[in-house]
Chains A and B, each alone.
Chain A
Amino acid sequence: MKRHLLMTFLAVLTLTEGAPAQGLSIKSAELSLSIGETSSAKKTFTIGPPQSSIPINGEMQLNSGTMYEARINFFTSNRIGSEILYGYQYSGVTFNRNTAPASSFSVPLVVHNFALNLLYYPLGKTDSQWRPFVNVGGGAVIYRPSTGGQASAKDPLQGNFDTFFESSRGAAMGGGGVKRTLTRKLGFRADADAVFTKVPTFGLPESSAQANATVLPVGGLVHSFRVSAGLIIYLGK
């Protein structure tokens, strides 16, 4: 995960070439605290030979949930800004088996999201009351089972998985939003983003040559949509 954070940070700095010159002035710093919702896509899977001669079809669903975000935002120019994002979400992951005997099992998760975003403001000036923006950036997402969730996943009486632990995935995100100044010290912000990560497998192998192995053959990316709204605290004013 550290590698993902470092690369993202360097990329944002490269794009925001004026930033170092301006020294990320504290006068432009904003702290945003938001609350929102996420919605993630399902990932289907099929378990076949050698684990099962009859294909087992199912899907993995990262559950929707309330998301809490904190951002520190800087203007590096009139049109360009950058921000550091930390998001926290308590949700879960649900495994559904569609092949008979159909069954379902959910594991509570804590999702941590770290990102560096580059923001582009197409309209207005830094002191405009309304500042729409688009953003793009990258970072990492940590899917960490709760203590009880991990225990239930490995409990033979519940999930009966041989193993189940956290997955860390690099993330790319993009979206847009709008900021509005309310007072000298406070503002409002609304965001809508899409986040793309490699699918978490929680320590389960995607495939195995061993017939008795428990596998989770989900590959590729999983995306989620987030919408949030919150307050901006202007730190430099």
Chain B
Amino acid sequence: MEKIVFRLFGVTLISALLNILAQGGFSYIFPGITTNNSITIGNINPQPTTATIAFYDSSGKLNSLTVELGAGTQTRVTPATVALTTFTGSVVVSGPQPLTVSADQFEGNTAFDFIYPAELSTDLLIPFAPGDSASVDVNVFNPGPNQAEVKVVLMQSSGAHTDVRTATLDPLHSTTINIPSSSNISYAFVVTANLLRPNSPVAADAVIRSFAPGTSGAVPRSDFAVVPAVPASEFTTSAVVPFFVQGPDYFSIVQVDNLSNSQQSVSVTALRADGTPLPGTNNPASIVLPAYGSIRQDMLTMFGTTATGFSTGTISVKATGAGGVAPSPVAASVAAGNVSEPGFAVMLPISAQTAFAFQLRGTGREFFTGLAFQNGGTSDAHVTLSFVLDQGATISNIPIVVPHSQQLIGSLADIFPEAQGNGFILVRSDAPITAAGLDGRSDNSALAPRLPLYASENFTPPPQDSYTVVGTVRDPNTGVNGGNIGVPNVAFGLTGPLQATTATDGAGTFMFRDLRAGRYSLTPLPVGYTVSPGGSTIVITNSNSRNNDFSIGLTTPTLVSINPASALVNSTANPTSVSGTGPVQITVQGSNFTPSTTFTGNVFTGNINQFTTGSVVVFGASQVPTTIINPTLLTASIDQSLLVTTGTVQVRVRNLGPSGDFIDSAPLTFIVGTSPPTLTSVTGQLSPIVGGTVTNSFTVVVNGSGFTPATQVRVNFQGRPTTYVNQNQVIGTVLPADVTLPGFVPITVQNPNSVDSAPFQLPVLYPIPVVTSVSPGSLAAQVALNAQPVQATITGASFGQNPNNLLDTATVLVNGTPVVTQYISSTKLTAFIPPSFVAMPGVLQITVANPEPNLAPSNAAPLFVINPAPTVTSVDAGNVTWNPNTPANAFFNQPVVVTGANFSPSAVAWVNLPCDSLGFRKALSTVRNSSTQIIATIPIRCAGTYSIEVENPQPGGGLSAPIPMVVPSAVIDRRYR
């Protein structure tokens, strides 16, 4: 049993041993559990086991349950699992074998952290507290059997500790002691030790909320951090915190506590992942700490950091004593976060080991997991990572090497991308390594330390029974923090023994699971950008296919036109403050415009907050607010502050990459100028002008005022040859290229340094469309009351679509009335004809009208509507009988309900009487209730079998099959004979 005792701070099995002798098992205590907690319980042992989960609040045990766990399986429990809708207290998980347990806690919309089993002691240390910047809740659980007098000793940075909060805690009870920010504590002890009182070890942790880092530029933290209370006896004269992060967007705060009642010096060293010291003017830092004193500084201050790039690594602390006095124990911790986002996590020292596990949650890439493996030994560590689902199925096994004296740091998406879902990562190493992780939301709004947990040395994951294809799509350009950003939402198709599609997640990772052996083709399906390579062939035999990596490329946008292409210069000193002078809205036509997609990436390799892909208009050197309408059309807003100087401005459309890279279109010129001449009319133009049909240039006469010999006529905001006539008239030239596309072409006039005049909109007409056929050529009349629209395909030519508004298309007209139309191509449309048009037989006139401006609708094509053939399924005349004593030639009229289908409004019932040989004749009357029911009135003249049929009139229609109807003879009671 003693083999499983690892000295892991905060997490290890030491806490599990509290009842090992008394109960012959292992127990794990989680103080500070609430309704929002989920507790993961794993059995990473070679044998099955059971686990009992008991919930205790401030008044004692509330509820519990026992679960069975197969070897290598996990389960997840919440207070709701034991029917607790609200809960605040502690949870104790116990079982006959060591378990792998952790809990995750969510607060509010974003904040979360992990809670790990708390160790029991009469003398606990909370190594990091918020100082005067935030409050802290100390959660305490007393497992009994004695009542505990719990004292939370609030330690000032000077070592003073006159402020003590006391709580008396009965056995199996929880409590929370709130310490306000005014207490200004750097760290805290939780003690129950008193040699004149019964031994009363307790378990505790601390929750820090609203922490203000005090680091330059760092925002206050809305995230919270759970800091475990560690037995003070576990601290020694040295400590290594396995993770810090420092860079343009990240900060780390280092805290060292002197746990001695005498002054001593400490040496603090920051090493980067490659084992080299972090560059700085004071690394290592030598610090004198008073008795019980502490120091807390960000890394820039403590080490005089000169490196401006992104760094990760370890913090080592060594006590050196003072004045010939031997070194005493110290505690070290690191608080890390993003500068501009409110995530916050506190990391404590962790010991090296050879077998452990990380529990994973089945989240998407809106969360990330970063992992750090440090090898402090002198030989490389050969490590195997295995990802096993909660149910016990092995998804993947991969080898990695951690070089000696170095640290391997990366995101889980990079190191082990197939490790996704509820499960655990089993880590086995041939040399002791120190592992730590950091989970967080991808936008860094929350961070939480991911700690290694128990795994049996004897546990072996089961063999894989299916395989995985996994890879990553990255931007080849590096982000500000180095590395290549994973690109989300890139679609992939996989064909082979199994066909499937997927898309990359927030980290740029894609994965196909549950594959059997075989040959597969993997193809990226990008939209709006390129992905290389264009595809690959994968052969799976008996292992996963990994590292199927791709990179994206940007497509170059093209710029066709800007409307308007000029704006009045704004001469005010502060244009934006002038009421009524809002931004100028421009419409831009072109191609390869890409909508913006905000996404996040990898915390360790890039700034995950600021990047967007998509298109943006660049006005001069300024990116301006842009709205993508479709791949060929966008609008942009030009602020008045960009219009203060007359002249021309180059306007481009820029497609952005995720790492800040971009590619620009060729520019068009935008004019910022003075008031233009006045345009009143344009005459002399061709009429009509059909788009794409003009082959020669033609002139137009532009009338107005303020013209000069330098006045220029502009078509589509492009200057054209102009002849000055007088100050009220100029003649401009329109090129065939100006009237290629149907629509309204702006014709303006411009003087030097002026903007364009108000435009004259020259109509360029859509051609007359041609309808060659309608399919189907005829339709059955929709006689049912609930009939649906009928679909018809119209084939022809010159069906138009407005390039600026793809929804503005040619429209199908039925008898001159437009109906819902789907534009397929310039030669094919689909019309959805309402049932009211086809309820009655006849001929419909089908035409097509192009969008405005157009010349005329197309020719008409007929669509025949014919009656359907009716069917009769039953007739019902009630219990009608014939009295044989009826006088000859007597009869009576009998209504008959005829049921069937496709009865048209003009349907007629026919009847054949068995009383004569005259055959079918019309019913005396026919009333159509619906397409499925008719009331026919027929004469009854004898007993026998009548035949009834229904006829729909021409066109189409016809007679249904006859249905017999028996009219029995009435039975005569002999008493009345």
Tell me if A53 and B198 are in contact (CB < 8 A).
Answer: yes
Partner of B197, one of A51, A96, A105: A51
Tell me if B196 and A215 are in contact (CB < 8 A).
Answer: yes
Interface residues of B in 175-206 (CB under 8 A from A): 189, 191, 193-199
**A105 contacts which chain B residues (CB < 8 A)?**
195
Nearest-CB residue, chain B, relative to A104: B195
Q: Does B62 have its Cβ within 8 Å of any Cβ on chain A?
A: no
Q: Least Cβ distance of B147 to chain A in Å? A: 6
In the complex, A156→B195 CA distance in Å? 12
Asked, given contacts A157-B161, A157-B189, A160-B151, whether A53 binds B146 with beta carbons under 8 Å apart, the answer is yes
Q: Does B725 have its Cβ within 8 Å of any Cβ on chain A?
A: no
In the complex, A215→B195 CA distance in Å? 10
Q: Mask for A146-165, Cβ within 8 A of B = 1, else 0?
A: 00000000011111110000
Asked, given contacts A157-B153, A212-B147, whether A97 binds B161 with beta carbons under 8 Å apart, the answer is no
Q: Least Cβ distance of B157 to chain A in Å? A: 16
Q: Does A204 have its Cβ within 8 Å of any Cβ on chain B?
A: yes
Tell me if B149 and A212 are in contact (CB < 8 A).
Answer: yes
Q: Does A54 have its Cβ within 8 Å of any Cβ on chain B?
A: yes
**A40 contacts which chain B residues (CB < 8 A)?**
none
Tell me if B191 and A58 are in contact (CB < 8 A).
Answer: no
Q: Does A47 have its Cβ within 8 Å of any Cβ on chain B?
A: yes
Q: Mask for A185-223, Cβ within 8 A of B = 1, else 0?
A: 000000000000000000010000001101110000000
In the complex, A100→B151 CA distance in Å? 21
Q: Does B145 have its Cβ within 8 Å of any Cβ on chain A?
A: yes
Q: Does A52 have its Cβ within 8 Å of any Cβ on chain B?
A: yes
Q: Does B28 have its Cβ within 8 Å of any Cβ on chain A?
A: no
Partner of B191, one of A53, A101, A160, A214: A160
Nearest-CB residue, chain A, relative to B194: A160
Q: Which among A58, A96, A97 has the highest number of chain B CB atoms within 10 Å? A: A97
Q: Which among A56, A157, A204 has the highest number of chain B CB atoms within 10 Å? A: A157
Question: What is the size, in residues, of chain A's interface with B at 8 Å between Cβ atoms?
Answer: 28
Interface residues of B in 230-268 (CB under 8 A from A): 261
Q: Does A128 have its Cβ within 8 Å of any Cβ on chain B?
A: no
Q: Does B292 have its Cβ within 8 Å of any Cβ on chain A?
A: yes
Tell me if A100 and B199 are in contact (CB < 8 A).
Answer: yes
Q: Does B168 have its Cβ within 8 Å of any Cβ on chain A?
A: yes
Q: Does B820 have its Cβ within 8 Å of any Cβ on chain A?
A: no
In the complex, A155→B155 CA distance in Å? 12
In the complex, A95→B196 CA distance in Å? 9
**A54 contacts which chain B residues (CB < 8 A)?**
198
Q: Mask for A47-74, Cβ within 8 A of B = 1, else 0?
A: 1000111101010000000000000000
Tell me if B196 and A156 are in contact (CB < 8 A).
Answer: no
Partner of B198, one of A52, A103, A104, A157: A52
Partner of A53, one of B145, B161, B197: B145
**B153 contacts which chain A residues (CB < 8 A)?**
156-157
In the complex, A104→B195 CA distance in Å? 7
Tell me if A52 and B146 are in contact (CB < 8 A).
Answer: yes
Partner of B151, one of A52, A156, A215: A156
Q: Least Cβ distance of B510 to chain A in Å? A: 55
In the complex, A211→B168 CA distance in Å? 11
In the complex, A155→B161 CA distance in Å? 9
Nearest-CB residue, chain A, relative to B168: A212
In the complex, A47→B196 CA distance in Å? 7
Partner of A52, one of B149, B164, B189, B197: B197
In the complex, A53→B261 CA distance in Å? 33
Q: Least Cβ distance of A202 to chain B in Å? A: 11
Nearest-CB residue, chain B, relative to A96: B195
In the complex, A54→B168 CA distance in Å? 19
**A96 contacts which chain B residues (CB < 8 A)?**
195
Q: Mask for B147-183, Cβ within 8 A of A = 1, else 0?
A: 1010101000000010010001000000000000000
Tell me if B164 and A156 are in contact (CB < 8 A).
Answer: yes
Tell me if B195 and A157 are in contact (CB < 8 A).
Answer: no
**A51 contacts which chain B residues (CB < 8 A)?**
197-198
Asked, given contacts A53-B145, A53-B146, A212-B168, whether A156 binds B197 with beta carbons under 8 Å apart, the answer is no
Q: Least Cβ distance of A50 to chain B in Å? A: 10
Partner of B196, one of A56, A101, A158, A211: A56
Nearest-CB residue, chain B, relative to A215: B196
Tell me if B292 and A157 are in contact (CB < 8 A).
Answer: yes
Size range of the chain B interface in the assembly = 20 to 34
Q: Mask for A90-128, Cβ within 8 A of B = 1, else 0?
A: 000001110011011100000000000000000000000
Interface residues of B in 120-158 (CB under 8 A from A): 122, 145-147, 149, 151, 153
Asked, given contacts A53-B145, A211-B147, A212-B149, whether A157 binds B196 with beta carbons under 8 Å apart, the answer is no
In the complex, A209→B295 CA distance in Å? 44
Nearest-CB residue, chain B, relative to A50: B147
Q: Least Cβ distance of A219 to chain B in Å? A: 15
Q: Least Cβ distance of B322 to chain A in Å? A: 19
Partner of A95, one of B149, B189, B195, B292: B195
Q: Least Cβ distance of A141 to chain B in Å? A: 23
Q: Which among B122, B161, B196 has the highest number of chain A CB atoms within 10 Å? A: B196
Nearest-CB residue, chain A, relative to B164: A156
Q: Least Cβ distance of A234 to chain B in Å? A: 48
Q: Which among A101, A158, A160 has the highest number of chain B CB atoms within 10 Å? A: A160
Nearest-CB residue, chain A, relative to B166: A156
Q: Mask for B494-518, Cβ within 8 A of A = 1, else 0?
A: 0000000000000000000000000
Q: Least Cβ distance of A150 to chain B in Å? A: 14
Tell me if A216 and B196 are in contact (CB < 8 A).
Answer: yes
**A95 contacts which chain B residues (CB < 8 A)?**
195-196
Q: Least Cβ distance of A216 to chain B in Å? A: 6
Interface residues of B in 531-577 (CB under 8 A from A): none
In the complex, A54→B146 CA distance in Å? 9
**B145 contacts which chain A residues (CB < 8 A)?**
53
Q: Least Cβ distance of B779 to chain A in Å? A: 93
Q: Least Cβ distance of B763 to chain A in Å? A: 91
Tell me if A157 and B191 are in contact (CB < 8 A).
Answer: yes
Nearest-CB residue, chain A, relative to B161: A157
**A103 contacts which chain B residues (CB < 8 A)?**
193, 195
Interface residues of B in 854-875 (CB under 8 A from A): none
In the complex, A208→B149 CA distance in Å? 16
In the complex, A215→B198 CA distance in Å? 11
**A161 contacts which chain B residues (CB < 8 A)?**
194, 196
In the complex, A48→B145 CA distance in Å? 15
In the complex, A158→B193 CA distance in Å? 9
Tell me if A204 and B168 are in contact (CB < 8 A).
Answer: no
**B261 contacts which chain A residues (CB < 8 A)?**
157-158
Interface residues of A in 32-49 (CB under 8 A from B): 47
Q: Least Cβ distance of A16 to chain B in Å? A: 45
Interface residues of A in 7-40 (CB under 8 A from B): none
Interface residues of A in 130-175 (CB under 8 A from B): 155-161
Nearest-CB residue, chain B, relative to A213: B197
In the complex, A155→B261 CA distance in Å? 11
**A158 contacts which chain B residues (CB < 8 A)?**
261
In the complex, A87→B194 CA distance in Å? 32
In the complex, A211→B200 CA distance in Å? 13
In the complex, A161→B164 CA distance in Å? 13
Q: Mask for B71-113, Cβ within 8 A of A = 1, else 0?
A: 0000000000000000000000000000000000000000000
Question: Top 7 closest A-B pairs, CB basis?
Answer: A97-B195, A52-B198, A160-B194, A156-B151, A103-B195, A156-B153, A156-B191
29 A-B residue pairings within 8 Å (CB atoms): A47-B196, A47-B197, A51-B197, A52-B146, A52-B197, A53-B145, A53-B146, A53-B198, A56-B196, A56-B197, A58-B196, A100-B199, A101-B122, A103-B195, A105-B195, A155-B161, A156-B161, A156-B189, A156-B191, A157-B153, A157-B189, A161-B194, A211-B147, A212-B147, A212-B149, A212-B168, A214-B194, A214-B196, A216-B196
* Chain B residues near A (Cβ < 8 Å): 122, 145-147, 149, 151, 153, 161, 164, 168, 189, 191, 193-199, 261, 292
Query: What 4 new A-B contacts, CB under 8 Å, besides A156-B189, A212-B168?
Result: A97-B196, A156-B153, A160-B194, A161-B196
